[in-house]
Amino acid sequence: MSDIPPHKHCPVCGISIPPDQEFCSRKCEKVWEDAMRKKKKSAYLLWALMGILVAVGVWMMLGK
């Protein structure tokens, strides 16, 4: 086995960190949280758009 101590990597910058930490710094943690918030918002907007398109499609089918 190698002499590398147990570790993992920061999901933002890739720096080696102890296994009990999630991020290497508060800055990386904030970058991660901002990215997740943006991703969540995009997912909600996509679902809303799909719902609107389905509603319009149903309305058009029932209107004929």
Nearest to 29 by CA among 12, 17, 15, 16: 12
Question: Tell me: the pLDDT tens digits for 21-62?
Answer: 999 999 999 999 999 999 999 999 999 999 999 999 999 999
Residue 1 has pLDDT above 60, yes or no: no
What is the residue whose two structure tokens read 């058009």? 60
So what's the pLDDT on residue 63?
A: 83
pTM of the complete model: 0.72
Q: Report which of residues 2 and 54 the model is more confident about.
A: 54
So where are the chain's domains? 8-63
